[in-house]
Structure 1
Amino acid sequence: MATPTPTPTPSSLTPVPAQLPEVLIAEILKRLPVKTLVQFKCVCKSWHKLLTDPIFTNTHLHFTTPTRIILSRYFKSFLSLPLHPNPNPNPNPNPNPIELPLSLNDAHTYYVKGHCNGLLLLIISDGTIILWNPTIARYRTLPTPSNFKETREVLGFGYDSSTNDYKIVRAPSSYCKLMLKDYNPQIEVLSLNSNSWRKLPEAETPPYFIEHSQQSFYLNGAVYWLTLDDFCTLILRFDLAKESFARVPPPRDDIGRNMSWIGVINDSLCVLHSHQRSYFDIWATRDDFNWEKMITVFKTVDPEPCFSYLDYAPLCFVETGELLMSIRRKGLIAYDPNEQCCRIIALLEDARWLQETVYTDSFVFPEEPSEVDQTGSSSGALTRVISQMLLGFSNAFMSRFAYRADSS
C-alpha cells in the first residue's frame, strides 16, 4: 500500500531566500545613490562594514556623477541647487534652492578654498579650517599652519592616489603680500592621514601670488589656480604626489587675450578667453599641454546682457546639452550652443558674493588618525587586501556575466 503524501503545511511552503554572494552585494550597492546607502548602513553589520570601508567609498566614486551645485554666500548659509534644471521655459524659474546646515558658519564669514570627491574645504573667519561632506552631514576641524591669516590665506585641496591620502597645500597669497609687511610665503602641506603640516623646502616656493577669494580646482592628482604675473594671467599647478609647483602652458591665442576664468568641465581643465563684449571661448585640456576649443559663447544674447568678461563663470554641461553658467549679480543661466540663446535658471539674492561648486554626492570622509582602527597593522592590511580581491573579483564576474548575456 502506497504511503499517502503528507499535506504541505504553510511553513513548508515558505520559500527560503537565497543568500547572494558578498561580491555581488558589493557590486549592486556601489551603483546606488549615497542617500540610499546611508539608510542601508543600518541593515546589518556586514553591510555597515562594507559601506564604511574606504575601498568601497573610493570605488563608489567611479559610479557617481555631479548631482548639484552648492552656492556659498560668504556671510550666509550654503544653498544647494539641482544640476538638471527643467528645460521648459519659465518666466519665473527659481527652483527653490535648499539650505544646507553647517552651524559653524553662523555669525562668521567664510570662503570655500577647494573641493574634491564630495568634500569641501572651508576657512571660517574665526580661524578654523573645516573639511565638510554635505551629503552625509559630517565635518572635521583641521589644524592650522604657523602664522595663519584666516580667510586671506590661499589653500589648495585634492587627493594623492600614490599615498591614498587627501592633502592641503598652503600657497602664496596676493592679499597677504599687499597687506602684511615683510610677508614671506612658506609652502606647507597638510596630510589628512597624519593630521599635521610639513614645510616644504624654500626652493618649492613659486614667485607668484594668488588671489585669496579663488577656489582651487582638483584634477588628476593636482590642484590649479589662475594667477597674475606682470599683468599677464597664468595657470599655476601643484602636483600632490611630487609636492611641487609648475606653470601650465596656456592655450594659444593669436590676439593676445588674457585668461579670465579657470575650472574643470567634463574631466578637463578649462580656461576662458573673452573677445571684448561679444563672445568668449572656452578651451580645454586633459594633459596640461594639448588644448582644444570646447565651445564659443555669445554674450550679447543673454536675457540681460552682461558685458564684463570677469562676470562669467561656466560650471558644467547638463543633460539637455546646455552649458550652465553663473553671472555675477544675476544668478544662473543655461546657454544653448545650437540656438545661441540663454534662459534663466535661478535669480538669486546677493549673487555678487557667490562661490559656485559643482558637487558630487559621496561617502568619502577621511577620519582623524585617532579614529582609524589601528589594532594590528598586519590584520588591517590583510583585511584591505581581501576587500580589494573581492571587489576585483566582482568586477571580473560581472563583466563575464555581461559578455555571456550579450553573446546569447
Structure 2
Amino acid sequence: MRSEKKPWSPLLCDELIEEILSRLPVKPLIQFKCVCKGWNSLMSDPYFIKLHLSKSATKDDLEHFQLMKNVCLGSIPEIHMELCDVSSLFHSLQIETFLFNFANMPGYHLVGSCNGLHCGVSEIPEGYRACFWNKATRVISRESPTLSFSPSIGRRTMFGFGYDPSSDKYKVVAIALTMLSLDVSEKTEMKVYGAGDSSWRNLKGFPILCTLPKVGGVYLSGTLNWIVIKGKETIHSEIVIISIDLEKETCRSLFLPDDFCFVDTNIGVFRDSLCVWQDSNTHLGLWQMRKFGDDKSWIQLINFSYLHLNIRPYEEKSMILPLCMSNNGDFFMLKFTRNADDEYQIILYNQWDSKGRREI
C-alpha cells in the first residue's frame, strides 16, 4: 500500500501506527500530515480514508454531528446553511452557529454532505453548476458541466448528494418541476452527475410528481430518498418515498406507513435505518423501516405527547427535529424556532418509558 519502505518509528510498527491514526478525529489527523512524508502519503491513501471513515461511522457519540438549518428563499429552493456541533448543546445554554460559506465561492450553496464531502450548487443563467468540496483538506473539485432543463416559464429544483460504492464515485441528483407554459401541466425531470463525468444524465423510471420534496435527498446505502406526492392531479396523487439507486441510476417508489400524511412530514436516517416522522403539534410519531427497501417492514419507534414539556411547537416557524439515536434507543431532539434570536430547546426521549424531558 505504501511506497516508502523505511519504518515511520523505531518503537512502533507501521501497522500499529496506522491503526492508531485511523481512530483519530479529522482535525488532528490533518495536522499530523506534516510529521513525515510517510504519514502524509498514508492520509491521502484511498484505503486509509475508507478505514478512517468506517471507524468514525461506528462511534456512538455526538462529536461528528453538526446541525444544519435550511431555509427556502424565493420560488426556487435556495439553501442557507448554519452549523453548530451537536455535542456542544449539552454543555452550553448558548448555541453558537456560523454561516456555512461554501469554499469561499460566491453563489454556491450547500445542498448535501456525505462521508465528510460537501456538494455545492450555483444557479447561473443557463441552469446550474455543481462542485464537491472536502472542508477538512480544503480540496475543491472542478465545476460540473452546466445542468439544464427544458425551456420553461418557471421552475423549482431540489438536489440530493450521495456515494455510489460500486464505482467509488460521489453523485449529485437534481429533481425539477418545470412549467412549460400556462396551459400545460408541470413536467418532472431528474438528472444525475458523478464526479469527473463529462455530462449530466437523465434518470430512468422516475415518476410524475405533484410537488417537490421539502428537503434534499437523504442518503442511505447507495441510494437517495425523498418523500413526495406522486401523480399529476391532487385527487389521484399518493404520498410515497422515491428511492434513487446511485449505481443503476434508476428510481423506484416505496410506500409509507399506514395513515401517514404529507403535512409536517420528514425523512432521515438513524442507526443506518431509514426513518420518517411527523409532528401533529401535540405528538411526535416516528417510524423505522427495519429492512431497507421493504415497505412492509415499517415499525413505530416513537409516539409521544410533548404537551407536558410546554414547548409551544405550534408557533410559526417552529419545528421539532430528531437529530440522532443512541445505541440504547434514546433519541436526541431539538425544538427550533426561527426568529430574531433563533431559540433552541433540547429534548431527550427515552424509548423505553416513552417519555421526553426538556434540557434547555
Query: Which residue is 2:51 aligned to?
Result: 59
Residues 225 and 178 of structure 1: CA distance in aligned 2, closer, same or farther (over 3 Å): farther
Report the alpha carbon displacement of residue 281 of structure 1 after superposing the two structures with TM: 0.8
Partner of residue 102, structure 1:
102
Per-residue deviation, residues 203-231 of structure 1 (Å, max 9, x unmatched): x2322255265211100110001111336
Higher helix share: 1
Q: Secondary structure at the match of 1:153?
A: strand
Q: Counterparts of 2:332 and 2:346 in 1: how far apart (Å)?
A: 5
Deviation at 1:298, TM superposition (A): 2.2
Aligned length: 316
TM-score (norm 2): 0.74
CA distance in 1 between counterparts of 2:345 and 2:214 reads 23
Cα distance in 2 for partners of 1:120, 1:192 equals 12
RMSD of aligned alpha carbons: 3.4
Which segments of 5 or more consecutive residues in structure 1 lack a partner in the other structure?
1-16, 345-408
Secondary structure, aligned partner of 1:187 = strand
Provide the C-alpha distance between the structure 1 equivalents of 2:301 and 2:322, rounded to a whole number of angstroms.
12
Q: Which residue, 252, 258, 262 being the options, matches 2:267?
A: 262
More strand by share: 2
Give, as a single letter, the amino acid of the residue that structure 2 aligns with 1:80: L
* Deviations 1:88-125 (CA, angstroms, capped at 9, x unpaired): 7x7xx11323454436455x4x6543221112222234
| 1:331–1:248 distance in 2 versus 1, CA, 3 Å | farther
**Aligned-partner residue type, residue 148 of structure 2:** S
Partner of 1:129: 130
Q: What whole-Å deviation, never above 9, does each CA across 1:300-352 have from its counterpart, x for those lacking one?
A: 244431137983332223699452235342544322224523234xxxxxxxx
For residues 2-401 of structure 1, the aligned pairs below 5 Å read: 18-65=10-57, 67-72=64-69, 78-87=81-90, 93-102=93-102, 104=104, 106=106, 108=107, 111-126=109-124, 127-140=128-141, 141-147=143-149, 152-171=156-175, 173-174=176-177, 176-177=178-179, 184-200=187-203, 204-208=205-209, 211=212, 214-229=215-230, 230=234, 232-253=238-259, 257-258=261-262, 260-274=265-279, 276-285=280-289, 286-289=291-294, 290-307=297-314, 311-317=319-325, 321-329=330-338, 330-338=342-350, 339-344=355-360
Quickly say closer, same or farther: Cα 1:287–1:215, change in 2 above 3 A.
Answer: same
The CA distance in 1 between the partners of 2:99 and 2:213, in whole Å, is: 25
Deviations 1:41-73 (A, max 9, x none): 111111111100122111111111461324356
Letter in 1 for 2:222: G
Partner-residue secondary structure (3-state), 1:287: coil
1:292, distance to aligned residue in structure 2 (A): 1.9
Matched to 2:82, the amino acid is L
Q: Which has the larger radius of gyration?
A: 1
CA contact (8 A) 1:70 1:81 kept: yes
- Contact kept, 8 Å, 1:132 with 1:138, in 2: the verdict is yes
Are 1:154 and 1:210, in contact at CA under 8 Å, matched by a contact in 2? no
- In structure 2, stretches of 5+ residues that fail to align are 1-8, 72-77
Structure 1 segments (4+ residues) deviating >6 Å:
148-151, 178-182
Fraction of identical pairs, as percent: 26
